Amino acid sequence: MAEASQETTKQAAVAAEPKGALDRFFHITERGSTFGTEIRGGLVTFVTMAYIVILNPIILTSGVDVEGNSLSFPAVSAVTALTAGVMTILFGLVSRLPFGFAAGLGINAFLAFSVVGQVTWPEAMALVVINGVLIVLLAATGLRRMIFDAVPVELKLAITVGIGLFIAFIGFVNSGFVTATGQGSPPVGLGVNGSVFTVPTLIFAITLVLTGVLVAAKVKGGLLIGLVTGTVISVIVEAIAQLGPRTGADGEIANPGGWGLTVPELGGAPFGVPDLSLVGAVSFDLGRVGVVTVVMLVFTLLFTNFFDAMGTMTGLSREAGLADAQGNFPRLKSALVVEGVGAIAGGMTSSSSNTVFIESGAGIGEGARTGFANVITGLMFLLAMFFTPLTQIVPTEVAAAALVIVGALMMAQIKNIDLSDFRVLLPVFLTVAVMPMTYSIANGIGAGFVAWVLIHALSGRARSIHWLLWVVAAGFVVFFARGPIEAFLGV
Protein backbone atom coordinates (compact mmCIF):
# COMPACT_ATOMS: atom_id res chain seq x y z
CA MET A 1 0.00 0.00 0.00
CA ALA A 2 2.83 2.37 0.93
CA GLU A 3 4.57 1.65 -2.38
CA ALA A 4 1.34 2.32 -4.30
CA SER A 5 0.88 5.59 -2.44
CA GLN A 6 4.44 6.64 -3.21
CA GLU A 7 3.95 5.74 -6.89
CA THR A 8 0.76 7.85 -7.04
CA THR A 9 2.57 10.77 -5.43
CA LYS A 10 5.44 10.40 -7.90
CA GLN A 11 3.02 10.36 -10.85
CA ALA A 12 1.26 13.47 -9.55
CA ALA A 13 4.60 15.25 -9.16
CA VAL A 14 5.59 14.33 -12.70
CA ALA A 15 2.21 15.51 -14.02
CA ALA A 16 2.67 18.82 -12.20
CA GLU A 17 6.08 19.47 -13.71
CA PRO A 18 6.18 22.29 -16.31
CA LYS A 19 6.08 21.03 -19.88
CA GLY A 20 8.62 23.31 -21.55
CA ALA A 21 9.83 26.89 -21.32
CA LEU A 22 6.46 28.40 -22.28
CA ASP A 23 4.73 26.45 -19.52
CA ARG A 24 7.34 27.59 -16.98
CA PHE A 25 7.16 31.21 -18.12
CA PHE A 26 3.38 31.46 -17.70
CA HIS A 27 3.14 29.03 -14.72
CA ILE A 28 0.44 27.10 -16.58
CA THR A 29 0.90 23.69 -14.93
CA GLU A 30 1.84 25.29 -11.63
CA ARG A 31 -1.59 26.97 -11.49
CA GLY A 32 -3.44 23.79 -12.40
CA SER A 33 -4.20 24.76 -15.98
CA THR A 34 -3.38 23.46 -19.45
CA PHE A 35 -2.62 25.04 -22.83
CA GLY A 36 -6.02 23.93 -24.10
CA THR A 37 -7.79 25.49 -21.14
CA GLU A 38 -5.87 28.74 -21.54
CA ILE A 39 -6.70 28.94 -25.26
CA ARG A 40 -10.38 28.31 -24.56
CA GLY A 41 -10.40 30.87 -21.75
CA GLY A 42 -8.69 33.45 -23.94
CA LEU A 43 -11.26 33.00 -26.70
CA VAL A 44 -14.15 33.31 -24.23
CA THR A 45 -12.67 36.51 -22.81
CA PHE A 46 -12.42 37.97 -26.31
CA VAL A 47 -16.02 37.09 -27.11
CA THR A 48 -17.24 38.84 -23.96
CA MET A 49 -15.04 41.90 -24.59
CA ALA A 50 -15.43 42.23 -28.37
CA TYR A 51 -18.37 44.62 -28.02
CA ILE A 52 -15.92 47.38 -27.03
CA VAL A 53 -14.72 47.56 -30.67
CA ILE A 54 -18.23 48.79 -31.48
CA LEU A 55 -19.21 50.55 -28.26
CA ASN A 56 -16.06 52.63 -27.73
CA PRO A 57 -16.28 54.43 -31.09
CA ILE A 58 -20.00 55.01 -30.56
CA ILE A 59 -19.25 56.78 -27.26
CA LEU A 60 -16.17 58.70 -28.41
CA THR A 61 -17.65 59.83 -31.74
CA SER A 62 -20.66 61.22 -29.86
CA GLY A 63 -18.44 63.92 -28.39
CA VAL A 64 -17.88 67.14 -30.33
CA ASP A 65 -14.85 69.08 -29.15
CA VAL A 66 -14.49 72.77 -28.44
CA GLU A 67 -13.67 73.47 -32.12
CA GLY A 68 -16.64 71.49 -33.41
CA ASN A 69 -14.64 68.43 -34.50
CA SER A 70 -15.54 64.79 -33.89
CA LEU A 71 -13.56 61.57 -34.30
CA SER A 72 -13.91 59.17 -37.24
CA PHE A 73 -15.92 56.05 -36.37
CA PRO A 74 -13.84 53.52 -38.38
CA ALA A 75 -10.60 55.08 -37.14
CA VAL A 76 -11.67 54.85 -33.49
CA SER A 77 -12.83 51.27 -34.02
CA ALA A 78 -9.47 50.33 -35.54
CA VAL A 79 -7.34 51.90 -32.81
CA THR A 80 -9.64 50.44 -30.15
CA ALA A 81 -8.89 46.94 -31.45
CA LEU A 82 -5.19 47.71 -31.94
CA THR A 83 -4.62 49.08 -28.45
CA ALA A 84 -6.69 46.38 -26.78
CA GLY A 85 -4.69 43.70 -28.60
CA VAL A 86 -1.28 45.14 -27.82
CA MET A 87 -2.05 45.95 -24.18
CA THR A 88 -3.73 42.61 -23.49
CA ILE A 89 -0.71 40.73 -24.80
CA LEU A 90 1.74 43.01 -22.95
CA PHE A 91 -0.13 42.57 -19.67
CA GLY A 92 -0.16 38.81 -20.11
CA LEU A 93 3.57 38.70 -20.79
CA VAL A 94 4.53 40.97 -17.89
CA SER A 95 2.05 40.02 -15.17
CA ARG A 96 1.31 36.42 -16.28
CA LEU A 97 -2.33 37.08 -15.31
CA PRO A 98 -5.46 36.42 -17.45
CA PHE A 99 -6.89 39.95 -17.38
CA GLY A 100 -7.94 41.41 -20.74
CA PHE A 101 -7.37 45.11 -21.54
CA ALA A 102 -9.49 47.54 -23.55
CA ALA A 103 -10.81 51.11 -23.48
CA GLY A 104 -12.47 51.78 -20.12
CA LEU A 105 -16.16 52.71 -20.32
CA GLY A 106 -16.10 55.26 -17.51
CA ILE A 107 -13.20 57.26 -18.88
CA ASN A 108 -14.34 57.30 -22.51
CA ALA A 109 -17.69 58.70 -21.39
CA PHE A 110 -15.94 61.35 -19.31
CA LEU A 111 -13.83 62.36 -22.30
CA ALA A 112 -16.73 62.48 -24.76
CA PHE A 113 -19.27 64.27 -22.58
CA SER A 114 -17.16 66.42 -20.26
CA VAL A 115 -13.56 66.98 -21.32
CA VAL A 116 -13.93 67.80 -25.04
CA GLY A 117 -16.38 70.56 -24.26
CA GLN A 118 -13.31 72.50 -23.07
CA VAL A 119 -10.46 71.21 -25.27
CA THR A 120 -9.88 69.59 -28.67
CA TRP A 121 -9.70 65.81 -29.10
CA PRO A 122 -5.88 65.79 -29.50
CA GLU A 123 -5.60 67.88 -26.32
CA ALA A 124 -8.02 65.58 -24.49
CA MET A 125 -5.89 62.58 -25.42
CA ALA A 126 -2.82 64.43 -24.16
CA LEU A 127 -4.55 64.66 -20.78
CA VAL A 128 -5.07 60.88 -20.92
CA VAL A 129 -1.34 60.39 -21.58
CA ILE A 130 -0.42 62.64 -18.65
CA ASN A 131 -2.84 60.67 -16.50
CA GLY A 132 -1.11 57.44 -17.56
CA VAL A 133 2.36 58.76 -16.75
CA LEU A 134 1.18 59.71 -13.26
CA ILE A 135 -0.36 56.26 -12.75
CA VAL A 136 2.92 54.59 -13.71
CA LEU A 137 4.85 56.78 -11.27
CA LEU A 138 2.37 56.15 -8.46
CA ALA A 139 2.43 52.40 -9.10
CA ALA A 140 6.21 52.19 -9.31
CA THR A 141 6.67 54.03 -6.01
CA GLY A 142 3.95 52.12 -4.14
CA LEU A 143 1.88 55.26 -3.57
CA ARG A 144 -0.99 53.93 -5.68
CA ARG A 145 -1.72 51.12 -3.24
CA MET A 146 -1.50 53.52 -0.29
CA ILE A 147 -3.98 55.95 -1.84
CA PHE A 148 -6.34 53.14 -2.79
CA ASP A 149 -6.39 51.89 0.79
CA ALA A 150 -7.07 55.40 2.14
CA VAL A 151 -10.38 55.92 0.33
CA PRO A 152 -13.45 54.38 2.02
CA VAL A 153 -14.75 51.34 0.16
CA GLU A 154 -18.22 52.92 0.11
CA LEU A 155 -16.99 55.78 -2.07
CA LYS A 156 -15.09 53.43 -4.36
CA LEU A 157 -18.24 51.42 -4.96
CA ALA A 158 -20.39 54.56 -5.28
CA ILE A 159 -18.20 55.81 -8.13
CA THR A 160 -18.79 52.56 -10.03
CA VAL A 161 -22.53 52.76 -9.38
CA GLY A 162 -22.68 56.41 -10.44
CA ILE A 163 -20.80 55.78 -13.68
CA GLY A 164 -23.18 52.89 -14.38
CA LEU A 165 -26.23 55.13 -13.94
CA PHE A 166 -24.61 57.83 -16.08
CA ILE A 167 -23.82 55.38 -18.90
CA ALA A 168 -27.37 54.00 -18.77
CA PHE A 169 -28.80 57.53 -18.96
CA ILE A 170 -26.68 58.22 -22.05
CA GLY A 171 -28.08 55.01 -23.56
CA PHE A 172 -31.67 56.06 -22.88
CA VAL A 173 -31.06 59.47 -24.46
CA ASN A 174 -29.20 58.12 -27.51
CA SER A 175 -32.00 55.63 -28.18
CA GLY A 176 -34.75 58.24 -28.12
CA PHE A 177 -36.37 56.46 -25.17
CA VAL A 178 -35.73 59.58 -23.06
CA THR A 179 -35.97 62.95 -24.82
CA ALA A 180 -35.79 66.62 -23.92
CA THR A 181 -39.24 68.18 -23.68
CA GLY A 182 -38.04 71.70 -24.37
CA GLN A 183 -39.97 72.85 -21.29
CA GLY A 184 -38.88 73.98 -17.87
CA SER A 185 -40.83 71.17 -16.19
CA PRO A 186 -40.46 68.32 -16.79
CA PRO A 187 -37.15 68.81 -18.62
CA VAL A 188 -37.17 65.24 -19.99
CA GLY A 189 -39.85 62.72 -20.86
CA LEU A 190 -40.55 59.32 -22.40
CA GLY A 191 -40.09 59.20 -26.19
CA VAL A 192 -42.31 61.67 -27.99
CA ASN A 193 -45.25 63.01 -25.98
CA GLY A 194 -44.93 60.19 -23.47
CA SER A 195 -44.82 57.25 -25.88
CA VAL A 196 -42.22 55.18 -27.77
CA PHE A 197 -42.74 56.86 -31.11
CA THR A 198 -40.16 55.57 -33.56
CA VAL A 199 -39.19 52.20 -35.01
CA PRO A 200 -35.50 52.67 -34.05
CA THR A 201 -36.52 53.25 -30.42
CA LEU A 202 -38.68 50.13 -30.56
CA ILE A 203 -35.67 48.16 -31.83
CA PHE A 204 -33.70 49.58 -28.88
CA ALA A 205 -36.30 48.14 -26.52
CA ILE A 206 -36.26 44.76 -28.27
CA THR A 207 -32.45 44.62 -28.19
CA LEU A 208 -32.45 45.63 -24.52
CA VAL A 209 -34.85 42.83 -23.56
CA LEU A 210 -33.06 40.23 -25.70
CA THR A 211 -29.63 41.15 -24.34
CA GLY A 212 -31.00 41.25 -20.81
CA VAL A 213 -32.33 37.70 -21.18
CA LEU A 214 -28.99 36.46 -22.52
CA VAL A 215 -27.03 38.13 -19.71
CA ALA A 216 -29.48 36.84 -17.11
CA ALA A 217 -29.06 33.33 -18.51
CA LYS A 218 -25.27 33.81 -18.22
CA VAL A 219 -24.76 33.12 -21.93
CA LYS A 220 -21.10 33.74 -22.74
CA GLY A 221 -20.84 36.67 -25.10
CA GLY A 222 -24.45 37.64 -24.37
CA LEU A 223 -23.73 41.34 -24.82
CA LEU A 224 -22.06 40.78 -28.18
CA ILE A 225 -24.83 38.43 -29.33
CA GLY A 226 -27.40 41.07 -28.41
CA LEU A 227 -25.52 43.74 -30.37
CA VAL A 228 -25.19 41.55 -33.45
CA THR A 229 -28.83 40.41 -33.33
CA GLY A 230 -30.13 43.95 -32.87
CA THR A 231 -27.97 45.10 -35.78
CA VAL A 232 -29.26 42.33 -38.07
CA ILE A 233 -32.85 43.26 -37.20
CA SER A 234 -32.05 46.92 -37.90
CA VAL A 235 -30.47 46.15 -41.29
CA ILE A 236 -33.56 44.15 -42.32
CA VAL A 237 -35.94 46.88 -41.12
CA GLU A 238 -34.00 49.60 -42.93
CA ALA A 239 -33.90 47.56 -46.15
CA ILE A 240 -37.68 47.22 -46.03
CA ALA A 241 -38.83 50.55 -44.54
CA GLN A 242 -36.06 52.89 -45.76
CA LEU A 243 -36.29 55.00 -42.59
CA GLY A 244 -33.15 57.04 -43.33
CA PRO A 245 -31.28 59.36 -40.94
CA ARG A 246 -33.04 61.45 -38.31
CA THR A 247 -31.10 64.63 -39.05
CA GLY A 248 -30.55 66.50 -42.28
CA ALA A 249 -27.35 67.90 -43.75
CA ASP A 250 -27.65 71.00 -41.55
CA GLY A 251 -27.77 68.91 -38.37
CA GLU A 252 -31.42 69.74 -37.68
CA ILE A 253 -34.02 67.02 -37.11
CA ALA A 254 -35.71 66.56 -40.48
CA ASN A 255 -37.05 63.02 -40.01
CA PRO A 256 -38.20 62.31 -36.41
CA GLY A 257 -38.79 58.64 -37.20
CA GLY A 258 -35.32 58.03 -38.60
CA TRP A 259 -32.11 56.56 -37.18
CA GLY A 260 -29.77 58.48 -34.90
CA LEU A 261 -26.06 58.67 -35.65
CA THR A 262 -25.76 55.60 -37.89
CA VAL A 263 -28.08 54.22 -40.57
CA PRO A 264 -27.79 50.38 -40.64
CA GLU A 265 -27.09 49.82 -44.32
CA LEU A 266 -24.94 47.13 -45.92
CA GLY A 267 -22.37 48.33 -48.41
CA GLY A 268 -18.76 47.71 -49.31
CA ALA A 269 -16.46 44.92 -48.12
CA PRO A 270 -16.85 43.57 -44.56
CA PHE A 271 -13.11 43.85 -43.99
CA GLY A 272 -10.30 46.12 -45.05
CA VAL A 273 -7.04 47.80 -44.11
CA PRO A 274 -7.54 49.44 -40.70
CA ASP A 275 -7.54 53.23 -40.49
CA LEU A 276 -4.75 54.03 -37.99
CA SER A 277 -4.67 57.77 -38.67
CA LEU A 278 -5.42 58.54 -35.02
CA VAL A 279 -2.20 56.96 -33.78
CA GLY A 280 -0.06 59.80 -32.46
CA ALA A 281 -2.82 62.43 -32.88
CA VAL A 282 -2.00 64.08 -29.55
CA SER A 283 -1.39 67.75 -28.70
CA PHE A 284 0.15 68.91 -25.43
CA ASP A 285 -0.61 72.55 -26.21
CA LEU A 286 -3.15 73.09 -23.43
CA GLY A 287 -3.01 76.86 -23.32
CA ARG A 288 -6.70 77.30 -24.20
CA VAL A 289 -7.76 76.27 -20.68
CA GLY A 290 -6.53 77.49 -17.33
CA VAL A 291 -3.98 75.70 -15.18
CA VAL A 292 -6.59 74.88 -12.53
CA THR A 293 -8.87 73.29 -15.13
CA VAL A 294 -6.04 71.18 -16.57
CA VAL A 295 -5.03 70.00 -13.10
CA MET A 296 -8.58 69.05 -12.14
CA LEU A 297 -9.32 67.31 -15.44
CA VAL A 298 -6.15 65.22 -15.08
CA PHE A 299 -7.01 64.61 -11.43
CA THR A 300 -10.47 63.32 -12.33
CA LEU A 301 -9.07 61.10 -15.10
CA LEU A 302 -6.48 59.80 -12.67
CA PHE A 303 -9.04 59.14 -9.99
CA THR A 304 -11.49 57.35 -12.28
CA ASN A 305 -8.73 55.23 -13.84
CA PHE A 306 -7.10 54.63 -10.49
CA PHE A 307 -9.90 53.02 -8.50
CA ASP A 308 -11.72 51.26 -11.31
CA ALA A 309 -8.60 49.29 -12.26
CA MET A 310 -7.52 48.48 -8.69
CA GLY A 311 -10.98 47.20 -7.78
CA THR A 312 -11.31 45.18 -10.97
CA MET A 313 -7.91 43.50 -10.65
CA THR A 314 -8.55 42.63 -7.01
CA GLY A 315 -11.91 41.08 -7.86
CA LEU A 316 -10.58 39.10 -10.83
CA SER A 317 -7.58 37.79 -8.91
CA ARG A 318 -9.92 36.55 -6.18
CA GLU A 319 -12.14 34.89 -8.77
CA ALA A 320 -9.09 33.11 -10.23
CA GLY A 321 -7.96 31.99 -6.79
CA LEU A 322 -4.70 33.92 -7.12
CA ALA A 323 -5.21 36.54 -4.37
CA ASP A 324 -4.35 36.27 -0.69
CA ALA A 325 -6.54 37.40 2.21
CA GLN A 326 -5.41 41.03 1.78
CA GLY A 327 -6.26 41.02 -1.94
CA ASN A 328 -2.62 40.90 -3.09
CA PHE A 329 -1.86 38.79 -6.15
CA PRO A 330 1.28 37.67 -8.02
CA ARG A 331 3.41 40.40 -9.62
CA LEU A 332 1.13 43.10 -8.20
CA LYS A 333 3.45 46.07 -8.77
CA SER A 334 4.21 45.02 -12.35
CA ALA A 335 0.49 44.66 -13.05
CA LEU A 336 -0.21 48.17 -11.73
CA VAL A 337 2.63 49.68 -13.77
CA VAL A 338 1.41 48.04 -16.99
CA GLU A 339 -2.12 49.25 -16.24
CA GLY A 340 -0.72 52.77 -16.24
CA VAL A 341 0.99 52.09 -19.55
CA GLY A 342 -2.49 51.20 -20.86
CA ALA A 343 -3.59 54.76 -20.21
CA ILE A 344 -0.55 56.14 -22.05
CA ALA A 345 -1.14 53.80 -25.00
CA GLY A 346 -4.84 54.68 -25.11
CA GLY A 347 -4.07 58.38 -25.20
CA MET A 348 -1.41 58.02 -27.89
CA THR A 349 -3.83 56.10 -30.12
CA SER A 350 -6.92 58.23 -29.30
CA SER A 351 -8.78 55.12 -28.15
CA SER A 352 -9.10 56.46 -24.57
CA SER A 353 -7.40 55.02 -21.51
CA ASN A 354 -7.09 51.23 -21.65
CA THR A 355 -7.63 49.31 -18.46
CA VAL A 356 -8.47 45.86 -17.09
CA PHE A 357 -11.91 44.57 -18.12
CA ILE A 358 -14.19 42.87 -15.63
CA GLU A 359 -15.43 40.69 -18.53
CA SER A 360 -12.17 38.79 -18.14
CA GLY A 361 -14.06 36.93 -15.44
CA ALA A 362 -15.79 34.95 -18.19
CA GLY A 363 -12.45 33.55 -19.37
CA ILE A 364 -11.41 32.87 -15.77
CA GLY A 365 -14.69 31.02 -15.28
CA GLU A 366 -13.75 28.95 -18.32
CA GLY A 367 -10.49 27.99 -16.59
CA ALA A 368 -7.96 30.66 -17.63
CA ARG A 369 -5.35 31.16 -14.93
CA THR A 370 -2.31 32.63 -16.71
CA GLY A 371 -1.17 35.31 -19.11
CA PHE A 372 -1.13 32.82 -21.98
CA ALA A 373 -4.92 33.31 -22.21
CA ASN A 374 -4.17 37.01 -22.70
CA VAL A 375 -1.98 36.27 -25.67
CA ILE A 376 -4.91 34.48 -27.33
CA THR A 377 -7.33 37.31 -26.48
CA GLY A 378 -4.89 39.94 -27.75
CA LEU A 379 -4.30 38.16 -31.05
CA MET A 380 -8.07 38.02 -31.60
CA PHE A 381 -8.32 41.79 -31.05
CA LEU A 382 -5.54 42.39 -33.56
CA LEU A 383 -7.41 40.24 -36.08
CA ALA A 384 -10.65 42.14 -35.37
CA MET A 385 -8.87 45.33 -36.40
CA PHE A 386 -9.28 44.26 -40.05
CA PHE A 387 -13.06 43.87 -39.69
CA THR A 388 -13.84 47.36 -38.39
CA PRO A 389 -15.96 48.27 -41.48
CA LEU A 390 -18.62 45.98 -40.00
CA THR A 391 -18.89 48.19 -36.92
CA GLN A 392 -20.17 51.13 -38.95
CA ILE A 393 -23.55 49.52 -39.58
CA VAL A 394 -24.42 49.24 -35.87
CA PRO A 395 -27.14 51.85 -35.23
CA THR A 396 -26.96 54.10 -32.18
CA GLU A 397 -30.22 52.67 -30.87
CA VAL A 398 -28.80 49.13 -30.74
CA ALA A 399 -25.56 50.29 -29.10
CA ALA A 400 -27.67 52.24 -26.59
CA ALA A 401 -29.17 48.96 -25.37
CA ALA A 402 -25.65 47.71 -24.59
CA LEU A 403 -24.96 50.92 -22.66
CA VAL A 404 -28.03 50.36 -20.50
CA ILE A 405 -27.04 46.73 -19.83
CA VAL A 406 -23.47 47.72 -18.88
CA GLY A 407 -24.86 50.49 -16.68
CA ALA A 408 -27.13 48.03 -14.90
CA LEU A 409 -24.22 45.63 -14.31
CA MET A 410 -22.12 48.44 -12.84
CA MET A 411 -24.99 49.66 -10.68
CA ALA A 412 -25.28 46.19 -9.10
CA GLN A 413 -22.36 47.14 -6.84
CA ILE A 414 -24.79 49.15 -4.70
CA LYS A 415 -25.65 45.91 -2.91
CA ASN A 416 -22.19 45.87 -1.35
CA ILE A 417 -22.62 49.27 0.35
CA ASP A 418 -24.00 49.44 3.91
CA LEU A 419 -26.31 52.46 3.82
CA SER A 420 -27.60 52.22 7.39
CA ASP A 421 -25.39 55.15 8.50
CA PHE A 422 -26.51 58.51 7.06
CA ARG A 423 -22.87 59.68 7.09
CA VAL A 424 -22.35 57.06 4.40
CA LEU A 425 -25.73 57.30 2.70
CA LEU A 426 -25.63 60.99 1.75
CA PRO A 427 -22.13 61.03 0.16
CA VAL A 428 -22.94 57.82 -1.72
CA PHE A 429 -26.27 59.24 -2.89
CA LEU A 430 -24.64 62.47 -4.06
CA THR A 431 -21.93 60.58 -5.94
CA VAL A 432 -24.47 58.43 -7.74
CA ALA A 433 -27.12 61.11 -8.40
CA VAL A 434 -24.93 64.06 -9.40
CA MET A 435 -23.18 62.21 -12.25
CA PRO A 436 -26.21 61.73 -14.53
CA MET A 437 -28.00 64.88 -13.33
CA THR A 438 -25.07 67.14 -14.24
CA TYR A 439 -23.84 64.95 -17.11
CA SER A 440 -20.42 64.81 -15.46
CA ILE A 441 -18.50 62.00 -13.77
CA ALA A 442 -16.15 64.54 -12.22
CA ASN A 443 -18.98 66.42 -10.52
CA GLY A 444 -20.31 63.23 -8.98
CA ILE A 445 -16.95 62.12 -7.61
CA GLY A 446 -16.28 65.59 -6.23
CA ALA A 447 -19.69 65.94 -4.57
CA GLY A 448 -19.26 62.57 -2.87
CA PHE A 449 -15.75 63.27 -1.55
CA VAL A 450 -16.53 66.76 -0.28
CA ALA A 451 -19.73 65.52 1.39
CA TRP A 452 -17.92 62.59 3.03
CA VAL A 453 -15.24 64.79 4.58
CA LEU A 454 -17.61 67.54 5.74
CA ILE A 455 -20.29 65.28 7.22
CA HIS A 456 -17.82 63.07 9.05
CA ALA A 457 -15.76 66.03 10.29
CA LEU A 458 -18.77 68.05 11.51
CA SER A 459 -20.48 65.09 13.17
CA GLY A 460 -17.58 64.14 15.42
CA ARG A 461 -15.82 61.67 13.14
CA ALA A 462 -12.92 63.87 11.99
CA ARG A 463 -10.32 61.41 13.26
CA SER A 464 -11.68 58.69 10.98
CA ILE A 465 -10.84 60.74 7.87
CA HIS A 466 -7.51 59.87 6.27
CA TRP A 467 -5.36 62.93 5.59
CA LEU A 468 -5.34 62.08 1.88
CA LEU A 469 -9.14 62.48 1.81
CA TRP A 470 -8.75 66.03 3.10
CA VAL A 471 -6.36 66.74 0.23
CA VAL A 472 -8.70 65.21 -2.36
CA ALA A 473 -11.75 67.04 -0.99
CA ALA A 474 -9.87 70.34 -0.96
CA GLY A 475 -8.86 69.73 -4.56
CA PHE A 476 -12.50 69.21 -5.56
CA VAL A 477 -13.55 72.41 -3.75
CA VAL A 478 -11.03 74.23 -5.97
CA PHE A 479 -12.43 72.33 -8.97
CA PHE A 480 -15.99 73.46 -8.25
CA ALA A 481 -14.84 77.05 -7.73
CA ARG A 482 -12.38 77.07 -10.62
CA GLY A 483 -14.28 79.74 -12.59
CA PRO A 484 -13.93 82.51 -10.01
CA ILE A 485 -10.42 81.32 -9.08
CA GLU A 486 -9.20 81.42 -12.70
CA ALA A 487 -10.78 84.84 -13.16
CA PHE A 488 -9.04 86.09 -10.01
CA LEU A 489 -5.67 84.64 -11.02
CA GLY A 490 -6.08 85.75 -14.62
CA VAL A 491 -5.34 82.27 -16.04
pLDDT of residue 85: 96
The yes-or-no verdict on residue 436 having pLDDT over 90 is no
pLDDT tens for 173-183 read: 878 888 776 77
pLDDT of residue 8: 44
pLDDT of residue 10: 44
Q: What is the pTM of this model?
A: 0.69
Q: Would you place residue 225 in the very low, low, confident or very high pLDDT band (cuts 50, 70, 90)?
A: confident
Sequence-ordered list of residues with C-beta below 8 angstroms from that of 244, at least 6 positions apart, any chain? 255, 258, 259, 263
Phi/psi at 178 (5° precision): -120, 130
pLDDT tens for 267-316 read: 766 778 899 999 999 999 887 877 777 887 888 788 777 766 766 676 67
pLDDT: which is higher, 10 or 202:
202
